[in-house]
Amino acid sequence: MNEQHSFKSFLRQTPWVISSLLLASLGCVFDGPRYSADAPTTLQIEPTSVIITADRPMTFGHKISSYFGTNVAWRVLEPGGGTVDDRGHYQAPTKPGIFRVQVSAVSDPSKKAVAKVTVVAAPTGPITAPNLVETGASGLHASVPLQPGVTYSWSIQGGSLQSNAHSNQIMFAVGAGSEILLKCRMTNAAGESHDIYQQIPKAAPVVFRLDQTSATLTVGHSMRFGYRLAGGIRPSIIWSTPLAHSGHVDQNGNYTAPMKAGKCLVRALPDTAPDQAAQVEVTVVDIPDGVIFVPPTFEAGKTSVVAWVVARPSLKIHWNLSSGTIEDDPSAQTIHFNPGADPAVTLSCRLTNEAGDTFTAQREIAMAPN
Protein backbone atom coordinates (compact mmCIF):
# COMPACT_ATOMS: atom_id res chain seq x y z
CA MET A 1 0.00 0.00 0.00
CA ASN A 2 2.75 2.45 0.93
CA GLU A 3 4.75 1.67 -2.19
CA GLN A 4 1.68 2.37 -4.34
CA HIS A 5 1.22 5.76 -2.62
CA SER A 6 4.90 6.77 -3.21
CA PHE A 7 4.72 5.94 -6.88
CA LYS A 8 1.58 8.05 -7.37
CA SER A 9 3.23 10.95 -5.57
CA PHE A 10 6.27 10.75 -7.86
CA LEU A 11 4.04 10.85 -10.93
CA ARG A 12 2.30 13.96 -9.65
CA GLN A 13 5.71 15.75 -9.18
CA THR A 14 7.28 14.66 -12.46
CA PRO A 15 5.98 17.53 -14.64
CA TRP A 16 7.37 20.08 -12.17
CA VAL A 17 10.73 18.33 -12.04
CA ILE A 18 10.94 18.13 -15.81
CA SER A 19 10.01 21.78 -16.14
CA SER A 20 12.67 22.79 -13.62
CA LEU A 21 15.33 20.77 -15.39
CA LEU A 22 14.33 22.25 -18.75
CA LEU A 23 14.46 25.84 -17.44
CA ALA A 24 17.78 25.22 -15.77
CA SER A 25 19.11 23.85 -19.03
CA LEU A 26 17.87 26.90 -20.98
CA GLY A 27 19.33 29.20 -18.37
CA CYS A 28 22.77 27.75 -18.96
CA VAL A 29 22.44 28.26 -22.69
CA PHE A 30 21.16 31.85 -22.59
CA ASP A 31 23.02 33.03 -19.51
CA GLY A 32 23.72 36.81 -19.72
CA PRO A 33 21.72 39.76 -21.06
CA ARG A 34 18.38 38.91 -22.58
CA TYR A 35 17.26 41.18 -25.45
CA SER A 36 13.90 41.34 -27.01
CA ALA A 37 13.62 41.32 -30.77
CA ASP A 38 11.26 44.24 -30.44
CA ALA A 39 13.69 46.40 -28.40
CA PRO A 40 15.61 49.06 -30.44
CA THR A 41 19.35 48.79 -30.83
CA THR A 42 21.24 51.45 -28.79
CA LEU A 43 24.89 52.42 -29.16
CA GLN A 44 27.09 54.85 -27.23
CA ILE A 45 30.76 55.92 -27.62
CA GLU A 46 33.01 56.94 -24.75
CA PRO A 47 34.29 59.62 -24.55
CA THR A 48 32.13 61.75 -26.84
CA SER A 49 34.72 64.54 -27.04
CA VAL A 50 38.45 64.45 -26.45
CA ILE A 51 41.55 66.60 -26.91
CA ILE A 52 44.68 64.66 -27.77
CA THR A 53 48.24 65.56 -28.72
CA ALA A 54 49.28 64.89 -32.31
CA ASP A 55 50.71 61.42 -33.00
CA ARG A 56 49.54 60.08 -29.61
CA PRO A 57 47.36 56.91 -29.08
CA MET A 58 44.19 56.45 -27.07
CA THR A 59 41.34 53.92 -26.83
CA PHE A 60 37.64 54.63 -27.29
CA GLY A 61 35.04 52.56 -25.50
CA HIS A 62 31.44 51.79 -26.45
CA LYS A 63 28.17 50.39 -25.08
CA ILE A 64 25.73 48.50 -27.32
CA SER A 65 22.33 46.96 -26.64
CA SER A 66 21.00 44.83 -29.50
CA TYR A 67 18.98 41.61 -29.93
CA PHE A 68 20.85 40.94 -33.17
CA GLY A 69 24.42 40.98 -31.87
CA THR A 70 26.98 43.27 -30.29
CA ASN A 71 29.61 43.49 -33.03
CA VAL A 72 30.63 47.03 -34.02
CA ALA A 73 32.70 48.71 -36.74
CA TRP A 74 35.04 51.67 -36.23
CA ARG A 75 36.17 54.38 -38.67
CA VAL A 76 37.64 57.89 -38.81
CA LEU A 77 35.31 60.05 -40.87
CA GLU A 78 37.80 62.62 -42.17
CA PRO A 79 40.79 61.80 -44.39
CA GLY A 80 44.06 62.38 -42.57
CA GLY A 81 42.30 62.26 -39.21
CA GLY A 82 44.31 59.35 -37.86
CA THR A 83 43.50 55.64 -37.69
CA VAL A 84 41.31 53.43 -35.48
CA ASP A 85 41.27 49.63 -35.33
CA ASP A 86 38.40 47.17 -34.66
CA ARG A 87 38.93 47.44 -30.91
CA GLY A 88 38.66 51.23 -30.78
CA HIS A 89 42.43 51.87 -30.49
CA TYR A 90 42.94 55.29 -32.06
CA GLN A 91 46.21 56.82 -33.33
CA ALA A 92 46.10 60.60 -33.76
CA PRO A 93 47.57 62.12 -36.93
CA THR A 94 50.82 64.11 -36.89
CA LYS A 95 49.08 67.37 -37.77
CA PRO A 96 46.58 69.26 -35.59
CA GLY A 97 42.92 69.48 -36.57
CA ILE A 98 39.37 68.54 -35.63
CA PHE A 99 38.20 65.06 -36.65
CA ARG A 100 35.44 62.52 -35.89
CA VAL A 101 35.67 58.88 -34.85
CA GLN A 102 32.55 56.80 -35.50
CA VAL A 103 31.38 53.45 -34.13
CA SER A 104 28.40 51.64 -35.74
CA ALA A 105 26.47 48.42 -35.11
CA VAL A 106 27.33 45.70 -37.63
CA SER A 107 23.76 44.34 -37.43
CA ASP A 108 22.25 47.78 -38.07
CA PRO A 109 24.73 50.27 -39.62
CA SER A 110 22.19 53.05 -39.16
CA LYS A 111 22.89 52.84 -35.44
CA LYS A 112 26.06 54.84 -34.87
CA ALA A 113 27.81 57.11 -32.36
CA VAL A 114 30.41 59.78 -33.09
CA ALA A 115 33.17 61.30 -30.95
CA LYS A 116 34.77 64.67 -31.64
CA VAL A 117 38.57 64.51 -31.61
CA THR A 118 40.57 67.74 -31.31
CA VAL A 119 44.20 67.09 -32.18
CA VAL A 120 46.64 69.71 -30.87
CA ALA A 121 50.37 70.14 -31.42
CA ALA A 122 52.83 68.94 -28.84
CA PRO A 123 54.33 71.88 -26.89
CA THR A 124 57.79 72.60 -28.16
CA GLY A 125 60.69 75.03 -27.80
CA PRO A 126 63.36 76.13 -28.12
CA ILE A 127 64.10 78.82 -25.57
CA THR A 128 65.53 81.93 -27.20
CA ALA A 129 67.84 83.75 -24.78
CA PRO A 130 71.25 85.50 -24.69
CA ASN A 131 74.23 83.24 -25.32
CA LEU A 132 76.24 84.91 -22.58
CA VAL A 133 75.30 87.02 -19.55
CA GLU A 134 77.07 89.21 -17.02
CA THR A 135 76.68 89.12 -13.25
CA GLY A 136 74.30 91.86 -12.17
CA ALA A 137 72.74 92.34 -15.60
CA SER A 138 68.97 92.91 -15.59
CA GLY A 139 66.14 93.38 -18.06
CA LEU A 140 67.34 90.43 -20.16
CA HIS A 141 64.79 88.68 -22.37
CA ALA A 142 63.97 85.01 -22.99
CA SER A 143 61.09 83.44 -24.89
CA VAL A 144 59.59 80.28 -26.36
CA PRO A 145 57.34 80.10 -29.43
CA LEU A 146 53.79 81.31 -28.82
CA GLN A 147 51.45 78.34 -29.37
CA PRO A 148 47.62 78.39 -29.27
CA GLY A 149 46.14 76.79 -26.17
CA VAL A 150 49.50 76.33 -24.46
CA THR A 151 50.16 77.54 -20.92
CA TYR A 152 53.64 78.46 -19.67
CA SER A 153 55.44 78.31 -16.35
CA TRP A 154 59.00 79.66 -16.02
CA SER A 155 61.60 79.19 -13.32
CA ILE A 156 65.24 80.24 -13.04
CA GLN A 157 68.38 79.23 -11.17
CA GLY A 158 71.20 81.71 -10.64
CA GLY A 159 69.00 84.76 -11.13
CA SER A 160 65.49 86.13 -10.70
CA LEU A 161 62.43 86.62 -12.88
CA GLN A 162 61.42 90.23 -13.46
CA SER A 163 58.11 89.67 -15.25
CA ASN A 164 55.07 87.39 -15.43
CA ALA A 165 56.22 83.76 -15.21
CA HIS A 166 53.17 82.52 -17.15
CA SER A 167 53.79 84.12 -20.53
CA ASN A 168 55.73 82.82 -23.49
CA GLN A 169 58.32 85.56 -22.90
CA ILE A 170 59.98 86.85 -19.74
CA MET A 171 62.54 89.32 -18.41
CA PHE A 172 65.16 88.18 -15.94
CA ALA A 173 68.12 89.40 -13.92
CA VAL A 174 71.46 87.67 -13.33
CA GLY A 175 72.64 86.91 -9.82
CA ALA A 176 75.82 85.46 -8.40
CA GLY A 177 77.09 82.07 -9.45
CA SER A 178 78.71 80.56 -12.48
CA GLU A 179 75.73 80.28 -14.83
CA ILE A 180 71.99 80.74 -15.40
CA LEU A 181 69.57 77.85 -15.88
CA LEU A 182 66.18 78.73 -17.39
CA LYS A 183 63.29 76.27 -17.38
CA CYS A 184 59.95 76.63 -19.15
CA ARG A 185 57.17 74.09 -18.59
CA MET A 186 54.76 74.16 -21.53
CA THR A 187 51.37 72.44 -21.22
CA ASN A 188 49.04 72.10 -24.19
CA ALA A 189 45.23 71.83 -24.23
CA ALA A 190 45.50 68.04 -24.00
CA GLY A 191 47.26 68.37 -20.65
CA GLU A 192 50.59 67.17 -22.02
CA SER A 193 53.60 69.00 -20.52
CA HIS A 194 57.05 69.48 -21.91
CA ASP A 195 59.98 70.95 -19.93
CA ILE A 196 62.54 72.97 -21.88
CA TYR A 197 65.87 74.03 -20.40
CA GLN A 198 68.43 76.63 -21.43
CA GLN A 199 71.83 76.91 -19.77
CA ILE A 200 73.50 80.31 -20.14
CA PRO A 201 77.16 80.74 -19.14
CA LYS A 202 78.48 83.94 -17.62
CA ALA A 203 81.08 86.18 -19.18
CA ALA A 204 84.36 86.85 -17.44
CA PRO A 205 84.23 89.84 -15.07
CA VAL A 206 84.78 93.26 -16.62
CA VAL A 207 88.27 94.73 -16.14
CA PHE A 208 88.61 98.34 -17.22
CA ARG A 209 91.34 100.96 -16.96
CA LEU A 210 92.27 104.18 -18.67
CA ASP A 211 95.64 104.49 -20.40
CA GLN A 212 96.49 107.48 -18.21
CA THR A 213 95.41 108.92 -14.90
CA SER A 214 96.59 112.48 -15.53
CA ALA A 215 97.04 114.81 -18.47
CA THR A 216 98.05 118.41 -19.19
CA LEU A 217 96.25 120.30 -21.92
CA THR A 218 96.26 123.85 -23.25
CA VAL A 219 93.01 125.79 -22.92
CA GLY A 220 90.62 125.02 -25.78
CA HIS A 221 92.74 122.16 -27.07
CA SER A 222 91.55 118.56 -27.59
CA MET A 223 92.80 115.03 -27.09
CA ARG A 224 91.41 111.50 -27.06
CA PHE A 225 91.69 109.27 -24.00
CA GLY A 226 92.46 105.58 -24.57
CA TYR A 227 91.52 102.64 -22.38
CA ARG A 228 91.91 98.89 -21.89
CA LEU A 229 88.85 96.69 -21.55
CA ALA A 230 88.59 92.94 -20.92
CA GLY A 231 85.73 90.60 -20.02
CA GLY A 232 82.05 91.36 -20.14
CA ILE A 233 79.85 91.37 -23.23
CA ARG A 234 80.85 94.34 -25.35
CA PRO A 235 80.06 96.89 -22.62
CA SER A 236 79.64 100.52 -23.61
CA ILE A 237 81.88 103.10 -21.99
CA ILE A 238 80.12 106.07 -20.43
CA TRP A 239 82.19 109.27 -20.39
CA SER A 240 81.51 112.38 -18.31
CA THR A 241 83.06 115.50 -16.77
CA PRO A 242 81.74 115.44 -13.19
CA LEU A 243 83.06 118.89 -12.22
CA ALA A 244 81.55 122.14 -13.46
CA HIS A 245 83.44 123.99 -16.21
CA SER A 246 85.61 120.94 -16.89
CA GLY A 247 85.26 121.04 -20.67
CA HIS A 248 83.44 118.46 -22.79
CA VAL A 249 83.97 114.77 -23.54
CA ASP A 250 81.98 112.73 -26.06
CA GLN A 251 81.15 109.02 -25.86
CA ASN A 252 84.27 108.11 -27.82
CA GLY A 253 86.56 109.68 -25.24
CA ASN A 254 87.31 112.81 -27.29
CA TYR A 255 87.92 115.62 -24.79
CA THR A 256 88.06 119.39 -25.30
CA ALA A 257 89.51 121.51 -22.50
CA PRO A 258 87.67 124.61 -21.25
CA MET A 259 88.91 128.12 -22.08
CA LYS A 260 90.03 128.73 -18.52
CA ALA A 261 93.08 127.19 -16.87
CA GLY A 262 92.55 124.96 -13.87
CA LYS A 263 92.04 121.41 -12.65
CA CYS A 264 89.42 119.24 -14.41
CA LEU A 265 88.20 115.66 -14.17
CA VAL A 266 87.19 113.23 -16.92
CA ARG A 267 85.45 110.04 -15.78
CA ALA A 268 84.77 106.80 -17.66
CA LEU A 269 83.00 103.57 -16.67
CA PRO A 270 81.63 100.42 -18.36
CA ASP A 271 77.83 100.51 -18.35
CA THR A 272 77.60 96.96 -16.97
CA ALA A 273 80.36 97.35 -14.37
CA PRO A 274 80.10 100.75 -12.66
CA ASP A 275 82.48 99.54 -9.97
CA GLN A 276 85.22 99.70 -12.63
CA ALA A 277 84.96 103.50 -12.97
CA ALA A 278 88.23 105.33 -13.68
CA GLN A 279 89.14 108.99 -14.09
CA VAL A 280 91.78 111.32 -15.48
CA GLU A 281 92.86 114.49 -13.70
CA VAL A 282 93.41 117.11 -16.37
CA THR A 283 95.55 120.19 -15.73
CA VAL A 284 94.47 122.90 -18.15
CA VAL A 285 97.16 125.52 -18.80
CA ASP A 286 97.16 128.90 -20.53
CA ILE A 287 98.68 129.91 -23.82
CA PRO A 288 101.96 131.80 -23.12
CA ASP A 289 101.75 135.60 -23.22
CA GLY A 290 104.78 135.71 -25.53
CA VAL A 291 105.34 139.48 -25.47
CA ILE A 292 108.92 140.46 -26.39
CA PHE A 293 110.36 143.66 -25.01
CA VAL A 294 113.24 145.05 -27.07
CA PRO A 295 114.29 148.52 -28.34
CA PRO A 296 112.57 149.27 -31.67
CA THR A 297 115.90 150.33 -33.28
CA PHE A 298 119.60 149.80 -32.81
CA GLU A 299 122.65 151.84 -33.72
CA ALA A 300 125.13 150.59 -36.27
CA GLY A 301 127.86 148.63 -34.54
CA LYS A 302 125.81 148.37 -31.37
CA THR A 303 126.36 145.25 -29.25
CA SER A 304 124.71 143.77 -26.18
CA VAL A 305 121.20 144.88 -27.10
CA VAL A 306 118.83 143.69 -24.32
CA ALA A 307 115.63 141.71 -25.00
CA TRP A 308 113.30 139.82 -22.68
CA VAL A 309 110.01 137.95 -22.98
CA VAL A 310 106.98 137.72 -20.69
CA ALA A 311 106.76 134.10 -19.61
CA ARG A 312 105.90 132.14 -16.50
CA PRO A 313 108.78 130.15 -15.01
CA SER A 314 107.44 126.74 -16.10
CA LEU A 315 107.70 127.58 -19.81
CA LYS A 316 110.57 126.46 -21.98
CA ILE A 317 112.20 129.28 -23.94
CA HIS A 318 114.38 129.33 -27.05
CA TRP A 319 115.57 132.52 -28.79
CA ASN A 320 116.51 132.89 -32.47
CA LEU A 321 118.03 135.82 -34.38
CA SER A 322 117.84 136.20 -38.15
CA SER A 323 121.36 137.70 -38.28
CA GLY A 324 123.92 138.64 -35.70
CA THR A 325 124.59 136.64 -32.59
CA ILE A 326 122.94 135.93 -29.25
CA GLU A 327 125.42 136.59 -26.51
CA ASP A 328 123.63 134.70 -23.68
CA ASP A 329 121.98 131.35 -23.07
CA PRO A 330 119.18 131.19 -25.71
CA SER A 331 116.91 129.47 -23.15
CA ALA A 332 117.04 132.41 -20.73
CA GLN A 333 114.10 134.75 -20.26
CA THR A 334 116.38 137.80 -20.75
CA ILE A 335 119.18 137.89 -23.33
CA HIS A 336 121.76 140.21 -24.92
CA PHE A 337 122.37 140.06 -28.64
CA ASN A 338 124.55 141.66 -31.33
CA PRO A 339 122.37 142.62 -34.32
CA GLY A 340 125.32 142.72 -36.72
CA ALA A 341 125.58 144.93 -39.81
CA ASP A 342 122.21 144.20 -41.44
CA PRO A 343 119.82 147.14 -41.59
CA ALA A 344 117.11 145.06 -39.83
CA VAL A 345 116.90 141.82 -37.89
CA THR A 346 114.09 139.53 -36.76
CA LEU A 347 114.19 138.40 -33.16
CA SER A 348 111.96 135.37 -32.33
CA CYS A 349 111.24 133.52 -29.11
CA ARG A 350 109.73 130.03 -29.15
CA LEU A 351 107.76 129.24 -25.98
CA THR A 352 106.67 125.71 -25.03
CA ASN A 353 104.08 125.40 -22.28
CA GLU A 354 103.42 122.59 -19.77
CA ALA A 355 101.21 120.76 -22.26
CA GLY A 356 104.05 120.62 -24.81
CA ASP A 357 102.39 123.14 -27.17
CA THR A 358 104.73 125.60 -28.84
CA PHE A 359 104.01 129.27 -29.54
CA THR A 360 106.38 131.74 -31.23
CA ALA A 361 106.64 135.49 -30.63
CA GLN A 362 108.58 137.78 -33.05
CA ARG A 363 109.85 141.35 -33.22
CA GLU A 364 111.38 143.25 -36.13
CA ILE A 365 114.24 145.59 -35.14
CA ALA A 366 115.62 148.16 -37.56
CA MET A 367 118.93 149.95 -37.58
CA ALA A 368 118.51 153.57 -36.54
CA PRO A 369 119.22 156.12 -39.31
CA ASN A 370 122.40 158.22 -39.08
CA dist., res. 7 & res. 188, Å (int):
81
Q: Residues 291-294: contacts with CB within 8 Å, 24+ apart?
A: 291/361, 292/347, 292/349, 292/361, 292/362, 292/363, 294/347, 294/363, 294/365
Q: Which residues in the chain show pLDDT less than 50?
A: 1-11, 13-32
Residue 203, CA distances (Å) to 135, 156, 179, 278, 314 in order? 8, 18, 9, 21, 48
Interatomic CA distance for residues 147 and 233, integer angstroms: 32
Domains of the chain: 1-30 (no CATH), 42-120 (2.60.40.10), 140-201 (no CATH), 207-285 (2.60.40.1080), 292-367 (2.60.40.10)
Can you state the percent helix, strand and coil of the chain, rounding each to 5? 10, 45, 45
- Sheet order of strands, 254-256 included: 222-224, 254-256, 248-249
Give the closest residue to 96 by CA, choosing from 56, 37, 49, 126. 56
Residue 18's pLDDT is 42
Amino acid at 123: P
Q: Assess contact for 259 and 283: CB atoms under 8 A.
A: no
pLDDT in tens, 48-82: 999 999 999 999 999 999 878 899 999 999 999 99
In 10 A of CB 298, how many CB atoms? 21
**Beta carbons of 239 and 257 less than 8 angstroms apart:** no
Rg value, the chain, Cα: 52
pLDDT on residue 39: 78
Q: Please tell me whether residue 116 adopts helix, strand or coil conformation.
A: strand
Task: Determine the Cα–Cα distance for residues 253 and 272; give it in Å rounded to an integer.
Answer: 18
- Are 182 and 320 a contacting pair, CB within 8 Å? no
Predicted pLDDT of residue 121:
96
Per-residue pLDDT, 25 = 42
The rounded distance, in Å, linking the Cα atoms of 41 and 111 is 7
The alpha carbon of residue 351 and the mean position of all alpha carbons in its chain are separated, in whole angstroms, by 56
Q: Closest Cα partner for 317 from 347, 365, 359?
A: 359
Nearest to 179 by CA among 138, 137, 135, 243: 135
Strand partners, 284: 217, 262
In single-letter form, the type of residue at position 217 comes to L
- In 3D space, the residue among 284, 313, 316, 312 whose CA is nearest the CA of residue 215 turns out to be 284
CA-to-CA dists, residue 330 to 89, 155, 212, 318, angstroms: 110, 79, 34, 5
